[in-house]
């Protein structure tokens, strides 16, 4: 019996170049990621238009869009629905839906039409054991060089935490700008992590540095105030 082989496309990984594509969106055609080469991007998928969890997410993202833009981060959404479904859904959100005090919400960031699932498959957004015809709630953080820096996946039933998505975009930029790492539950203003010393001599120097707080040679932190972080990130 002749077997039909299904094409397997591996999910891109952190550090990979973001897979390129051209697509039709609610804001016109885009060439991704080339059109966003000077910005960070959050590329995210949702299971379907006219669904309640997705509606709550889009309203939240739309109300936070200016905040992300100030951090040099653009938003790009995707589902496997068609363009006219997208347009009708976003119009319904603006005209009829009120949630957590949000109403008359207009979604201005692009929402990709992906009825062929071409883009969703490139990014591993279709996970058959969850659903073979809907994208899961994937989030890709892509830097201005087009490199994937963080990936977060949620199942269909779990709405995303948008404060966490904003925290991630600030933390990634802070780590790049100041050459540091961010510890568990870090928020701007918290101490940051200094990378491990590469030699005995540098370890000794760090232990004696008054600006660095070392609990041991491998665990050193320093203060980085919130204004310094946000001024650097928001003025880029």
Q: Per the annotation, where are the binding residues for substrate?
A: 137
- C-alpha–C-alpha distance, residues 76 and 171, integer Å: 20
Alpha helices of the chain — where are they, by DSSP H? 52-70, 83-96, 118-122, 162-178, 200-208, 226-234
- C-alpha–C-alpha distance, residues 12 and 149, integer Å: 11
Alpha helices of 13-160 — where are they, by DSSP H? 52-70, 83-96, 118-122
Helix axes of 162-178 and 226-234: crossing angle, nearest 10 degrees: 90
Does 220 qualify as catalytic in the annotation? no
- Collapsing DSSP states into helix, strand and coil, what is residue 54? helix
Of 150, 127, 135, 143, the C-alpha closest to 13 is: 150
Tokens of 100: 């957590």
- C-alpha–C-alpha distance, residues 81 and 40, integer Å: 25
- Collapsing DSSP states into helix, strand and coil, what is residue 118? helix
Catalytic residue among 54, 73, 200, 214: 54
- Collapsing DSSP states into helix, strand and coil, what is residue 204? helix
Q: What angle do CA 126, 130, 136 make, to 5 degrees?
A: 45
Which residues form the catalytic set? 54
């Amino acid at each position: 019996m002749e077997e039909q082989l299904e094409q397997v496309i591996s999910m891109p990984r952190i550090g990979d170049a973001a897979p390129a594509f051209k697509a039709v969106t609610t804001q016109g055609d885009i060439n991704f990621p080339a059109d966003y080469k000077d910005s960070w991007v959050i590329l995210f998928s949702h299971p379907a238009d006219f669904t309640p969890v997705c509606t709550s997410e889009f309203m939240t993202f739309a109300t936070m869009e200016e905040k992300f833009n100030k951090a040099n981060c653009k938003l790009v959404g995707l589902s496997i629905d068609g363009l006219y479904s997208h347009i009708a859904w976003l119009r319904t959100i603006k005209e009829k839906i009120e949630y957590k005090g949000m109403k008359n919400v207009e979604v201005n960031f692009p929402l990709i039409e992906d009825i062929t699932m071409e883009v969703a498959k490139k990014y591993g957004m279709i996970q058959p054991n969850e659903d073979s015809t809907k994208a899961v709630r994937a989030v890709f953080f892509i830097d201005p060089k087009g490199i994937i820096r963080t990936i977060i996946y949620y199942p269909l039933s779990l709405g995303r935490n948008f404060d966490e998505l904003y925290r991630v975009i600030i933390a990634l930029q802070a780590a790049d700008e100041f050459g540091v790492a961010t510890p568990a539950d870090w928020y701007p203003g918290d101490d940051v992590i200094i990378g491990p010393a590469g030699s005995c001599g540098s370890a000794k120097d760090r232990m004696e540095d008054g600006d660095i707080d070392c609990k041991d040679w491998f665990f050193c932190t320093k203060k980085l105030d919130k204004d310094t972080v946000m001024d650097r990130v928001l003025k880029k």
